[in-house]
Amino acid sequence: MTPAWAQSSQNGTVNLQHYLRAVENNSLDLQAQQELVSSAKAGISIAGVRPDPQFTAGIDSKELYGPNKPNTATTTTAGIAITVETANKRQARINAAESNVRLSEATVSAFKRQLMADAATSFIEACRSSASLTRKETSLNALRDIVRMNETRLKAGDIGKLEMVQSKVEADRFAAEVNIARADTQNALAVLSNFLGKKYDDAFSGQKINCDIFQAEKQNSQADPFDDINKLIQQALEKREDIQLARSSTENARDNIELARANRWIDPVINLGVKNTPKVNAIQNASGMVTNSPAERSNMLGLTITVPIPFSRTQSGELTQAQSALTQASLQLRSVLLKAEIDVRNTYMQYQAARQNLSNYKEYVLDDSERLLQGVRTSYRKGSASMLELLNAQRNADEIFLAYLQAEANAANAKIKLQQSIAYSAP
């Protein structure tokens, strides 16, 4: 899932598209999930295995008491037993294994899209934290300039010591906030490594992240592909991973029913064997009389069919379980379709609201607060504004700017959620 507004980056930096591509290529969690597909594909080969024939060889009869039947031949036997699968069981197993592959692929696809969405959210948070740190450092530098100016004005007798101390305390307070913001930024950057399967510096050789997330939006503000809610819903119902997963689950459940039905058919066993009896030579006594039963060499062919008596088929538990799984999968599919449409409508409204909120900050609030701050700073330097008025203007401007950064992050996250809800991929 690569947002359209993340298609370009500056040299030497890492934009959102590059980061997401690295996540896709290096994520350990995604690689672990992809093993599910490899395992499922191996299941197709396993499903196609036919029953092994059984070879039997040994002694069929041997006289253990010689005086009873002198010179009796030992009969040997050899045979092979082949199980004949009925009801096309092998093909039913293969069909079930193939649908299981599609189910595994849908599972991995859904996991991947969620992973990309989480990674993108972390990237946006890193950008917001970095911009917030930059703003607070700028405000701290401005207050330190005020402190240095007040030190000069104190020496000149233009202000009292109380005002000087007040400005220094405020600068120290801002310095503490900058330290916290710096730690938050470092933590947000460290989180990016969680999705890469390696340290961020190992993946990008120390390149900084490119946070011009809305650059393409500013250039193409009139060409938003997410304005038609009906088209978005239609696309979601066709391409969403959770819907594909639910459909694959239903298909796999149907194949499992066919396999369960095929398995209820009994499989006969064909036994083919050969018996070999060696020649028995005559034994004569002193009078020349034959005292045993001489016989010529004998080879006998035997063929039998073993058919199990299917008493176990009087119960149909496996069919009931398979049918129940299909019913459950069908109901889950209907539920996913309904939830998908609701989700698209909700994310669409959130996206439109976030865009409007961001637009309001850009067009009205942000510029006005900055102009007000600069005006109060100028008035303070001229002595026509108090320190309290300056501090209030600074706090208000910082709060508004941080709120603007949050609105920008909210708009970016809302767009990602909308894209996720319709399974959108940038061309």
- Residues 185-215: pLDDT tens digits? 999 999 999 999 899 989 898 789 988 765 5
Are 299 and 190 found together in one domain?
no
pLDDT in tens, 289-314: 877 778 889 999 999 999 999 888 88
pLDDT at 166: 85
Q: How far is CA 143 from the centre of its chain?
A: 47
Output the CA–CA distances (angstroms, integers) from residue 75 to 125, 241, 345, in the order listed.
Answer: 85, 67, 82
Report the C-alpha gap between 326 and 251 in whole angstroms. 8
CATH assignment at residue 335: 1.20.1600.10
Backbone angles phi, psi at 226, to 5 degrees: -115, 35
CA of 183: how far to CAs of 129, 132, 133, 194, 199, in Å?
Answer: 10, 12, 9, 17, 18
Nearest residue to 24 (alpha-carbon basis) of 125, 120, 124, 128: 120
* Packed helices 229-239 and 317-360: angle between N→C axes, nearest 10 degrees: 150
Instruction: State mean pLDDT over 270-279.
Output: 93
Q: Tell me 426's DSSP state.
A: -
Whole-model pTM: value is 0.79
Q: Spell out a b/e string for 175-212, using b for 16 or more CB atoms within 10 Å of the CB, else e.
A: eebbeebeebbeebbebbeebbbeebeebbeeeebbbb
- Rg of the chain in Å (alpha carbons): 40
Q: Look at residue 97 and tell me if it is in a domain.
A: yes
Q: Are residues 389 and 351 in the same domain?
A: yes
Residue 92 backbone dihedrals phi, psi, to 5 degrees: -65, -40
Residues 173 and 300 in one domain: no
Q: Provide the pLDDT for residue 159.
A: 77
Report d(CA 30, CA 165) in Å as an integer: 56
**DSSP run (H or E) holding 40:** helix 28-47
User: Distance (Å, rounded) from C-alpha 13 to C-alpha 251?
Assistant: 45
pLDDT tens-digit readout, 365-387: 988 898 999 999 889 888 888 88
Whether 427 is in a domain gets the answer no
Residue finishing a domain among 281, 306, 331? 306
* Residue range 389-416: mean pLDDT, rounded: 91
Contacts of 304 (CB under 8 A, 6+ apart): 270, 271
Tokens of 400: 């508004």
**Domain containing 195: what range?**
4-50+85-268+307-421
Q: What strand order describes the sheet that includes 298-306? A: 54-61, 75-83, 269-277, 298-306
pLDDT at site 220: 46
Tokens encoding 95: 């069909």
| DSSP secondary structure letters along 185-206 | HHHHHHHHHHHHTS-HHHHHTT
Question: Of the candidates 314, 268, 333, 327, which has an alpha carbon nearest to the alpha carbon of residue 89?
Answer: 268
Asked if residue 278 and residue 319 are part of one domain, the reply reads: no
**Residue 290 covered by a domain:** yes
User: 22 with 137, same domain?
Assistant: yes
Number of domains in the chain: 2
Residues 99 and 67 in one domain: no
* Residue 4 or 302, more confident: 302
Alpha carbons within 13 angstroms on the beta-carbon side of residue 48 total: 6
For the chain, percent of residues with pLDDT exceeding 90: 60
Task: Specify whether 21 is located in the same domain as 98.
Answer: yes
> Within this chain, do residues 95 and 147 fall inside the same structural domain, yes or no?
yes
Q: 37 near 105, Cβ under 8 Å?
A: yes
What are the residues facing 274 on neighbouring strands? 78, 301
Q: Are residues 117 and 58 in the same domain?
A: no
Instruction: Tell whether 298 and 344 lie within a shared domain.
Output: no
